[in-house]
Amino acid sequence: MNATPAIVMPSTDEEIWRYSRIAELDMSAYTHGHMRTETVGADSVRVTESLAGVAMVTNPDIFAELNGAHADTISLRIPKGVAIEDAIHIVHHLDASNVVAYPRLVIDAEENSEVTVIETFISDDSIHSLVVPVLEVRAAKSARVNYLTINQLGLNTWQIGHQQSAGYRDSTTRLSTVALGGDYARMRTEVRLVEQGASAQQVALYFAGGTQMHDFRTLQIHEAPRTHSDLLFKGAVRDTARSVYTGLIHIKPNAAHSQAFQTNRNLTLSEGAWAESVPNLEIETNEVKCSHASTVGSVDQEQKFYLESRGIPPEIAERLIVFGFFNEVIDRLPKQADVETLRTAVNHKLNPENEVAK
Amino acid sequence: MSTLEIKGLRAEVAGKEILKGIDLTVKSGEVHAIMGPNGAGKSTLSAVIMGKPGYTVLGGSVTLDGVDMLAIPTWERAIAGLHLVMQYPTEVPGVHADQMLAEALTARQRGTDGMADRIASEAGRINFDAGLVSRALNVDLSGGEKKRNETMQLGVLEPKFAILDELDSGLDIDALRDCARRVEAATHESNLGVLAITHYVRLFEELKPDIVHIMVAGRIVSSGGPELADQLEIDGYAAFA
């Protein structure tokens, strides 16, 4: 294992790293390591050559660049016209401390194909390491790609990830996220709609407790006419946890008659918890329909009173409300996802006795 | 036989005294109507009885069979036997009526076995679409569906006393008949005591009051039999001001 070569770290002076914990990161603490990966259901579509680059033309930051240089890549090519009904499951375990791992998943869905992929990242709380995952999705003409990532990293594992998708004519790309883990877990998602009629839907459920921090950056980039994007991110923070959501809808000059929606809602469940939401719009053409909405607030007191007036104790009322808040996202996850296990994990995190400590 | 007793109740909202000394005693199986113009304090009375945040009690007492309701939190008042049917039932996104009822029954240490049948039976009695119980509470429901939902919950939870805060507002005549009839039936079947707050006598076509109280400016100014409501129809509230 070679030590990671000296690299120039970004700083929080850059807008894109504002609010991040990048200043705490010491790359020299990590040597290059690997995740232990189990894959189920991919045999018929996994290819040996690397398809890296099908959706990512340039590296958006140093971490994507490092991933490009060191990646353990899984490449999936869904042949033209093939629809795979069962989900492909990819589970990555990080078993060692003081390593940085670079998993990369490339999904190349050819014309009129369909696939669902569920990718899970797991480590124990005792693991002090860094994961730098990259996802690339290319949805060719009329292809349908349904992807869910589940962050179940331990409380001392960092994540700095990047997701990039490119949607071609009349394709549908659905990118879903459930993030419960990580110490500092950042994900930057760039969805490009590059041909007419392409559509992308994104949903995320994130819930941080203890001293965790979740950091999401999303870009919905419309490059062709009549493209459609819809994003719903819902997060909660408790204890002294923090979360940041920064989203940009960018409608380029060529993207007339496009529709783009972005909604980010955050619940702060403790006095010391903090959530920030920064939605942005950049529209370079007329005749588009765009909206963005963002909220940060505590549990609605009217809702709580309603449930309490039926005889439900306050802590259970609050738990029901938070569950209800997340249900809107859970209902939109791929139908193959193990929703009950995710609900149990959320419930565990809601229990005040499970306050996480380092 | 239970008794809900309100004595000398005074309360304020945002520094303004709204209830200026209310005295009321409701016994099991009785229906008491509280009528009054806008701003009389009728909804404030229901909110204070149930312990809604934002109201400050300045004096007096509310007891259920001698137990001080004002000293315990809202959820314990509900468990003790009070049930508020809200004028504008709150939307609770993502929380379904059946999930809520399961928690409410569990908190009462009543099992949830047979709950689905019970809900279906209660829904059937008031023409409420039982499919709506597994949808988010009050979200995208019509006024009539919301009040049917409230009434269905009342039927399942079987409180000792129901406080109906303008059950008759925001719903069509069919829904009003179904809901009012169900409450009236509960006064016979389970000896429910009712405090029905309303502007209009049309509620009484199905829910028969034993006693009518006229409330003006935070006080009960007159009490009597059902004939008082008829007199009100003729004379208006001005006669009681």
- For the stretch B125-153, pLDDT in tens is 999 998 888 888 999 899 999 999 999 99
Across residues B166-178, what is the average pLDDT? 90
Q: Does A315 touch chain B (CB under 8 A)?
A: no
In a domain, B192, yes or no: yes
β-pair type (A99-101, A31-33): parallel
Helices and strands in chain B: count of H runs, count of E runs: 7, 12
**Radius of gyration of the CA atoms of chain B, in A:** 17
Hey, how many other C-beta atoms are within 10 angstroms of the C-beta on B38? 8
In a domain, B204, yes or no: yes
Query: What is the Cα–Cα distance from A42 to B107, expressed in whole angstroms?
Result: 47
pLDDT of the residue at A6? 59
In a domain, B48, yes or no: yes
Question: What secondary structure, in 3-state letters, does chain A show?
Answer: CCECCCCCCCCCCCHHHCCCCHHHCCHHHCEEECCEEEEECCCCCEECCCCCCCCCCCCCCHHHHHHHHHCEEEEEEECCCCECCCCEEEEEEECCCCEEECEEEEEEECCCCEEEEEEEEEECCCCCEEECCEEEEEECCCCEEEEEEEEECCCCEEEEEEEEEEECCCCEEEEEEEECCCCEEEEEEEEEECCCCCEEEEEEEEEECCCCEEEEEEEEEECCCCCEEEEEEEEEECCCCEEEEEEEEEECCCCCCCEEEEEEEEEECCCCCEEEEEEEEEECCCCCEEEEEEEEECCCHHHHHHHHCCCCCHHHHHHHHHHHHHHHHHCCCCCCCCHHHHHHHHHHHHCHHHCCCC
The secondary structure of residue B172, as a DSSP letter, is: -
Contact indicator for A211, A182 with CB cutoff of 8 Å: no
Compute the nearest-CA separation of B5 from chain A (Å).
19
Is the pLDDT score of A4 beyond 60?
no
Burial A253-276 (b: 16+ CB within 10 A, else e): eebbebbbbbbbbbbbbbeebbbb
Per residue in A140-187, pLDDT (tens digit) is 999 999 999 999 999 999 999 999 999 999 999 999 999 999 999 999
**Where residue B22 sits, what CATH number does that domain have?**
3.40.50.300
pLDDT of the residue at B234? 86
Residue of B nearest to A330 (CA): B94
Chain B residues in contact with A308 by the CB 8 A cut-off are 73-75, 78
Q: Does B107 touch chain A (CB under 8 A)?
A: yes
Query: What is the Cα–Cα distance from A56 to A202, expressed in whole angstroms?
Result: 18
Question: How many domains in chain B?
Answer: 1
pLDDT of the residue at B130? 85
Is the pLDDT score of A358 beyond 50?
no
Compute the nearest-CA separation of A40 from chain B (Å).
32
Is the pLDDT score of A3 beyond 80?
no
Query: What is the Cα–Cα distance from A53 to A134, expressed in whole angstroms?
Result: 11
Is the pLDDT score of A266 beyond 70?
yes
Q: Which helix (H) or strand (E) holds B18?
A: strand B16-27
CB contact under 8 Å between B78 and A320, yes or no, is: no
Query: What is the Cα–Cα distance from A2 to A179, expressed in whole angstroms?
Result: 31
The secondary structure of residue B186, as a DSSP letter, is: H
Across residues B6-11, what is the average pLDDT? 98
β-pair type (A274-283, A242-251): parallel
Across residues B145-164, what is the average pLDDT? 96
User: What are residue B15's DSSP bridge partners?
Assistant: none
Q: Where are the alpha helices (DSSP H) in B40-114?
A: 42-50, 74-80, 97-107
pLDDT of the residue at A5? 52
Q: Does B141 touch chain A (CB under 8 A)?
A: no
CB contact under 8 Å between A308 and B86, yes or no, is: no
Is the pLDDT score of A71 beyond 90?
yes
In a domain, B109, yes or no: no
Query: What is the Cα–Cα distance from A33 to A92, expressed in whole angstroms?
Result: 13
Query: What is the Cα–Cα distance from A228 to A256, expressed in whole angstroms?
Result: 11
CB contact under 8 Å between A309 and B78, yes or no, is: yes
Per residue in A203-248, pLDDT (tens digit) is 999 999 999 999 999 999 999 999 999 999 999 999 999 999 999 9
pLDDT of the residue at A74? 98
Q: Is the predicted ipTM greater than 0.90, yes or no?
A: yes
pLDDT of the residue at A357? 46
Contact indicator for B34, B213 with CB cutoff of 8 Å: yes
Q: Does B84 touch chain A (CB under 8 A)?
A: yes
Q: Does A2 touch chain B (CB under 8 A)?
A: no
pLDDT of the residue at A111? 98
Q: Which helix (H) or strand (E) holds B82?
A: strand B82-85
Chain B residues in contact with A303 by the CB 8 A cut-off are 90-92, 95
The band of A354, judged by pLDDT with boundaries at 50, 70 and 90, is: low
β-pair type (B193-198, B161-165): parallel
Is the pLDDT score of A125 beyond 50?
yes
Contact indicator for B49, B63 with CB cutoff of 8 Å: no
Query: What is the Cα–Cα distance from A346 to A325, expressed in whole angstroms?
Result: 12
Query: What is the Cα–Cα distance from A288 to A210, expressed in whole angstroms?
Result: 42
- Residue for token pair 């392409």: A198
Please provide the average confidence, as pLDDT, over all residues in chain A: 94
In a domain, B167, yes or no: yes
Per residue in A239-262, pLDDT (tens digit) is 999 999 999 999 999 999 999 999
Q: Does B153 touch chain A (CB under 8 A)?
A: yes
Token pair of A146, please? Answer: 């349904």
Is the pLDDT score of A45 beyond 80?
yes
User: What are residue A107's DSSP bridge partners?
Assistant: A76, A137
CB contact under 8 Å between A306 and B101, yes or no, is: no
Hey, how many other C-beta atoms are within 10 angstroms of the C-beta on A358? 9
Nearest CB to B75 within list A311, A323, A325:
A311
The alpha carbon of A43 is separated from its chain's Cα centroid by a whole number of angstroms, namely 25
- Residue for token pair 């179940």: A152
Q: Which domain holds residue B42?
A: 3-88+160-240
β-pair type (B92-96, B136-137): antiparallel
Contact indicator for B167, B147 with CB cutoff of 8 Å: yes
CB contact under 8 Å between B90 and A302, yes or no, is: yes
Q: Which helix (H) or strand (E) holds B32?
A: strand B31-35
Interface residue of B85, B91, B95 to substitute, partner A, most A CBs within 10 Å: B95
Contact indicator for A76, A44 with CB cutoff of 8 Å: no
Is the pLDDT score of A355 beyond 70?
no
Q: Does B95 touch chain A (CB under 8 A)?
A: yes
Query: What is the Cα–Cα distance from A28 to A197, expressed in whole angstroms?
Result: 46
Residues in chain B: 241
Nearest to A144 by CA among A119, A164, A118, A171: A171
Query: What is the Cα–Cα distance from A125 to A157, expressed in whole angstroms?
Result: 7
Is the pLDDT score of A356 beyond 70?
no
Query: What is the Cα–Cα distance from A54 to B237, expressed in whole angstroms?
Result: 77
Name the residue type at position A231. L
pLDDT higher at A1 or B191: B191
Chain B residues in contact with A347 by the CB 8 A cut-off are none
Contact indicator for A99, A31 with CB cutoff of 8 Å: yes
Name the residue type at position B199. H
In a domain, B94, yes or no: no
Compute the nearest-CA separation of B9 from chain A (Å).
20
Per residue in A267-315, pLDDT (tens digit) is 999 999 999 999 999 999 989 999 999 999 999 999 999 999 999 999 9
Per residue in B34-91, pLDDT (tens digit) is 999 888 999 999 999 999 999 999 999 999 999 999 999 999 999 999 999 999 999 9
